[in-house]
Amino acid sequence: MSNSNQEKWFPKLIDGLLPVFATIAALLVGAVMLLLLKVNPIEAYKAMWDGAFGSQNALAETLVKATPLLLVGLGICISFRGDVINIGGEGQMIVGAIMGTLVGITLVDWPGWAVIPIALITGFIGGAIWGGIPGVLKAYFNVNEILSTVMMNAIAVQLMNFLLRGPMIDPSQAEVASKIPQTARLLDTFRLPRWVPTRLHLGALIAVVLAILVYLLLWRTTWGYRIRAVGQNPDASRYAGVKVRNYIVLALILSGAFAGLAGVMQVYGVNYRMITDGSASGFTGSAGFNGIVAALFGGLHPIGTIPASILFGGLLVGANKMQRVVQVPSALITALNGLVVVFVVSSEIWRRRRQKRRLAAASPDGEGIIPVGTDQGDTSSKEKEVEL
């Protein structure tokens, strides 16, 4: 018995580390590219490591980068479980940020302890709305969510441009000849508390707490159960009386909400104002997409997404440091980012194969798939439901 317990955690550890191995493989390919650019890969990757984890400041930066990844990733965990693809994270972050910022620049006479939670909740709601629209469109009008979220992303960017250079512009910019499209700066009292010499802000902690809450939501509440059921088998769920439509909408609303929270968190924890350069990723840092990757790294499990976000965040932060030290064009960093994503995603197959083998060894009929309806609420459920 103790034997099988030991057997249980070690393979799972390997499974969990597979994304790491895949990342290393991707970095090896990256090393070839570095050599072609006449850069010493060892020097480059050492810089990457230093930039991600090599000092207190680096670690703080990594955590700051990881926070939106985690939040978006949590939303993705929810939506993917509901078999809904949400690639609208970028737009949802923007809208959440806009609404949260509005709170901060309007309620200037209110105390910080009131404004911050109101702003965060408003951002959450903003993202929920922006995710909800594609949700409703899918559920009631059969508009595919890929189409609608892509469109909503573009609309959100233009909305941001319009608002930030018009109604929401910093009043002090309005007189200047070359106006910067940015809002006024948030009052000091409205900022998320920071761990002072670094940029690490309270949002990171909030995100971790939320991760736990999401886990509880998905595995300990009816809503969560139904979302997963609808995702696994919509027909069966419909037979069981679950209003499938509603839960599709709910999945998108929730995942949009978390993305919106990620957006407003960036404003209140990092930038202290909203500013645009005309693109989505200028504000979001592509967290809307990278959050999806982080969720995948974490096995689409809210708790797993925590270390995954930290590692992936470290990769992104470290890569930028690498760019500075060895002076490679940032284009290389983008390509490297892509390689890591492809490799990690590809490594899933090994994880599933290994799990299948283990389950086949354990279950009676040797098939290894446990039907829907069983709710075990521990990480082993991850193995069953990953056959998406």
Partner 1 sequence: MKKFRLLVTVLLLLAVLLSACTTQEPAPAVEETGAEEPAMEETKEPFRVAVVMPSSINDLAFSQSMYDALLTIQSEMGGEEAMEIVYSDGMFVVDDAAAAIRDYASEGYNLVIAHGSQYGSSLQEIAPDFPETSFAWGTTVDTFGIDNIFAYEAASDQGGYVNGVLAASLSKTGILGVVGPIETGDAKLYVDGFVAGAKATDPTVQVNVNYIGSFSDVALAAEAANTHIAAGADVLTGTAQMVVGAIGVAEESGALWFGTQASQTELAPSIVVANQVYRWDIVLKEIMDLIGDGTYGGTSFVIDLANGGEVLEFNPDFDIPADVAALAEETIAEISGGAVALQAPKFEDVFQVAVVMPSSINDLAFSQSMYDALVSVQEWMGGEGAMEFVYSDGMFVVDDAAAAIRDYAAEGFDLVIAHGSQYGSSLQEIAPDFPETSFAWGTTVDTFGIGNIFAYEAASHEGGYVNGVIAASLSETGVLGVVGPIETGDAKLYVDGFVAGALATNPDIQVNVNYIGSFSDVALASEAASTHVAAGADGLTGTAQMVVGAIGVAEESGAMWFGTQASQSGLAPANVVANQVYHWDVVLKEVVQMIADGTYGGTSFVIDLANGGEVMDFNADYELPAEVKSLALDTIKGIVDGSITIVFGE
Partner 2 sequence: MISDLLSMTVLVGILASGIRLATPYLYAAIGETFGQRSGVLNLGVDGQMLMGAFTAFYVAIKTGNLWLGILSAMVAGALMGLAMAFVTVNLHAEQGISGIGFYLFGLGLSDLLFQKLLGTVETVKGFPKIQIPFLSDIPVVGEIFFRQNVLVYIAFALVPVAWFILNKTTLGLKIRAVGENPEAADSLGVSVARIRYFTIILGGTLSGVAGASMSIALVNVFQQNMTSGLGFIAVALVYFGAWRPWGVLGGALLFSLVNSLQLWIQVLGIPIPSDIAVMMPYILTILVLVATVSRVRAPSALTKSFERGD
List residues binding partner 2 (CB under 8 A): 33, 37, 85, 87, 137, 141-144, 146-148, 150-152, 154-155, 158-159, 161-162, 165-166, 289, 292-293, 296, 329, 331-343, 345-346, 348-349, 352, 388
381 touches partner 1 (CB under 8 A): no
**Look-up: residue for tokens 């018995």?**
1
40 touches partner 1 (CB under 8 A): no
90 touches partner 1 (CB under 8 A): no
**Look-up: residue for tokens 């990092």?**
270
The option from partner 1, partner 2, none interacting with 151 (CB < 5 to 8 A, set by class) reads: partner 2
Residues with Cβ within 8 Å of residue 219, at least 6 apart in sequence? 225, 375, 377, 381
Collapsing DSSP to helix, strand or coil, 201 comes out as strand
Distances (CA, A) of 129 to 92, 123, 157, 248, 254: 8, 10, 16, 14, 9
Cα-Cα-Cα-Cα torsion 43, 49, 55, 60, nearest 10 degrees, comes to 140
Please provide the distance, in angstroms rounded to a whole number, between the alpha carbons at the two ends of the chain: 32
The option from partner 2, partner 1, none interacting with 189 (CB < 5 to 8 A, set by class) reads: none
Which residues lie across from 194 on neighbouring strands? 201
215 versus 272: smaller Cβ distance to partner 1: 272
Residues in the chain: 388
185 touches partner 1 (CB under 8 A): yes
Contact 123, 96 (CB under 8 A): yes
CB of 277 to partner 1, least distance (A): 5
Q: At what angle do helices 2-36 and 330-362 cross, to 10 degrees?
A: 160
Collapsing DSSP to helix, strand or coil, 1 comes out as coil
324 touches partner 1 (CB under 8 A): yes
Look up residue 201 and give its two tokens.
């802000």
111 versus 338: smaller Cβ distance to partner 2: 338
The option from partner 1, partner 2, none interacting with 182 (CB < 5 to 8 A, set by class) reads: partner 1
107 versus 348: smaller Cβ distance to partner 2: 348
Among the residue ranges 118-126, 134-142, 265-273, 362-370, the one whose residues contact partner 1 (CB under 8 A)? 265-273
The option from partner 1, partner 2, none interacting with 150 (CB < 5 to 8 A, set by class) reads: partner 2
2: exposed, middle or buried (C-beta count within 10 Å: 0-12, 13-18, 19+)?
exposed
Which residues lie across from 182 on neighbouring strands? 275
Collapsing DSSP to helix, strand or coil, 275 comes out as strand
Among the residue ranges 180-188, 335-343, 347-355, 376-384, the one whose residues contact partner 1 (CB under 8 A)? 180-188
Among the residue ranges 36-44, 128-136, 271-279, 299-307, the one whose residues contact partner 1 (CB under 8 A)? 271-279
CB of 181 to partner 2, least distance (A): 10
375 touches partner 1 (CB under 8 A): no
Look up residue 379 and give its two tokens.
């990480």
Among the residue ranges 57-65, 98-106, 300-308, 338-346, the one whose residues contact partner 1 (CB under 8 A)? 57-65
**Look-up: residue for tokens 């806009």?**
98
CB of 55 to partner 1, least distance (A): 9
The footprint of partner 1 (CB under 8 A) covers: 51, 57, 61, 64-65, 157-158, 161, 165, 176-182, 185, 197, 199, 266, 270-273, 275-279, 281-286, 316-317, 320-321, 323-324, 327, 329-331, 334
